[in-house]
Amino acid sequence: MTDHKRDSHATTIGEKTLRPESLMMSYGYRPELSQGAVKCPIFQTSTFVFKSAEAGKAFFEIAYGLRKQDPHEELGLIYSRLNNPDLEILEDRLTLWDGAEKSAVFESGMSAISTTFWTFLRPGDIVLHSEPVYGGTDYLLKRILPQFGIRAVGFSARTSQQSLEKLLEDREIRGKTAMIFVETPANPTNDLVDIAACVHAAQKMSSGGRRVLVAVDNTFLGPLWQQPLTLGADLVLYSATKYIGGHSDLIAGVCLGSAELVGQVKGMRTILGTMASPWTGWLLLRSLETMKMRMTAQMKTARYVADFLADHPKVERVYYLGHLRPEHPHYAIYRRQCSAPGGMIAFDIVGGEAEAFRFLNNLQLFRLAVSLGGTESLAEHPAAMTHSDVDPEERQEMGITDKMVRLSIGVEHPEDLIADLEQALAAL
């Protein structure tokens, strides 16, 4: 069968269902619409020409929800704030990894999170959230949302089940919560929040016409090692800047879920204008082709690095999912909701800020930078960098101390990374 006759959305060969990595080079793209180019071109255009005034009218009717789309009617392209081929193909491919009906891509992780909040939260609502969360999300929850009459109530990721149960005893929380937002594993401590327990709590709080949504920021392990939708979550959010982009050369975000919920998010995105550009969309299509290879290599290398650190006399403690033992309270959660430990490691160095800084300044192959999930290994100091605006007392409670260093493992040879860590620790 020649390529142009194969359905661009086929996911099987005969009876066999193809894996997502096998579909990342072709799914959703029709070469015959682009001169036969094997790669989807960059559709660097703001607007699209209608074949006729009637066609333009029909596209708008559907895009603005004025009538339902007929089963065989193709939705045409209108304007790149609403739709664009690079974004639509990317969104189709992203759904395969998380088992989502639909996805929406954004120009940053923060725009994915904020647009989702603006879609589902209203004045008077409460949003319950795990703690710690990413710094930008923390600011949005605690400083921005209250200005719009939305209250954020945090619960500790370390003791999520007990803290959630306690919150549910509060009548106001039961009556006004519109969303449970969780980030798991928590950054940088790798604490795990039980997603299924959050789904259960949301069901308990939902009543009549009011449905409490569970949204999970899946940036650290997804989409390869954790699929929150399969655990009952309603929405999955990403900073695609990290593992999905994977090359530290773009900023982007994603929201995935049911057609109904993501449709609402896309409606808000159209008006806020927070969609990704065609160029960002194209870069992400490039990235998705190697995502599984990259994330697998990073995950395997991280284990060598974590084992090396755990045995080192100048390392006090390592926070790494692959080292959880059955007696740890998060072990059962790990087994239920993660399929591998991923590529993020934090550790406490023997000493304090001075020792941590000397170590960071001594690194030669690891780059001293925030962000994560790229091909190059990165090291940073959470207390002084990514988490410096968290209240110092809260920071201490979360375990983010002056002796903590965070590593994001890249695709370098594990022995070269270990050699770099060894010399940087030896110089202390």
Ligand X SMILES: *Cc1c(COP(=O)(O)O)cnc(C)c1O
Binding site for ligand X (CB under 6 A): 108-110, 134, 136-137, 183, 187, 217, 219, 239, 241-242, 251, 253
Sign of CA dihedral 58, 60, 66, 72: positive
Q: Which amino acid is at 381?
A: H
Query: Smallest distance from the beta carbon of 246 to ligand X, in angstroms?
Result: 13
Give the separation between CA 349 and CA 337, rounded to whole angstroms.
29
Query: Smallest distance from the beta carbon of 88 to ligand X, in angstroms?
Result: 21
Residue whose CB is less far from ligand X, 40 or 344: 344
Residue whose CB is less far from ligand X, 140 or 310: 140
Structure-token pair, residue 42: 């960059």
Residue 405: half-sphere exposure toward Cβ, Cα within 13 Å: 33
Query: Smallest distance from the beta carbon of 13 to ligand X, in angstroms?
Result: 36
Q: What are phi and psi of 244, to 5 degrees?
A: -65, -50
181 three-class SS: strand
Residue whose CB is less far from ligand X, 63 or 252: 252
Give the separation between CA 223 and CA 236, rounded to whole angstroms.
9
As to burial, measured by CB atoms within 10 angstroms (0-12 exposed, 13-18 middle, 19+ buried), residue 317 is middle
Query: Smallest distance from the beta carbon of 48 to ligand X, in angstroms?
Result: 28
Give the separation between CA 148 and CA 372, rounded to whole angstroms.
32
Sign of CA dihedral 133, 139, 140, 145: positive
Residue whose CB is less far from ligand X, 226 or 241: 241
Query: Smallest distance from the beta carbon of 122 to ligand X, in angstroms?
Result: 23
Give the separation between CA 52 and CA 399, rounded to whole angstroms.
62
Residue whose CB is less far from ligand X, 142 or 358: 142
Find the residue with minimal CB distance to ligand X: 109
Query: Smallest distance from the beta carbon of 256 to ligand X, in angstroms?
Result: 15
Residue whose CB is less far from ligand X, 77 or 255: 255
Query: Smallest distance from the beta carbon of 242 to ligand X, in angstroms?
Result: 6
Query: Smallest distance from the beta carbon of 386 to ligand X, in angstroms?
Result: 9
Residue whose CB is less far from ligand X, 20 or 253: 253
The answer to whether the beta carbons of residues 292 and 223 sit under 8 Å apart is no
Query: Smallest distance from the beta carbon of 27 to ligand X, in angstroms?
Result: 24
Residue whose CB is less far from ligand X, 109 or 399: 109
Q: Which amino acid is at 17?
A: T
Residues with Cβ within 8 Å of residue 208, at least 6 apart in sequence? none
Residue whose CB is less far from ligand X, 110 or 215: 110
* DSSP result, 199-232: HHHHHHH-BTTB--EEEEE-TTTTTTS--GGGGT
Q: Sheet containing 344-349: give its strands across.
A: 315-319, 344-349, 404-408, 378-380, 367-368
